[in-house]
Amino acid sequence: MAGEPQDDCLFCKIVAKHVPATIVRETETTVAFRDINPQAPTHVLVIPKAHYKDAATLAAAEPALAADVLREARTVADEDKLESYRVVINTGAGAGQTVFHAHAHVLGGRGLQWPPG
Residues annotated as catalytic are: 103
- Per DSSP, the residues of 31-60 read EEEE-SS-SSSEEEEEEESSB-SSHHHHHH
φ, ψ at 71 (rounded to 5°): -65, -45
CA distance 113 to 62: 32
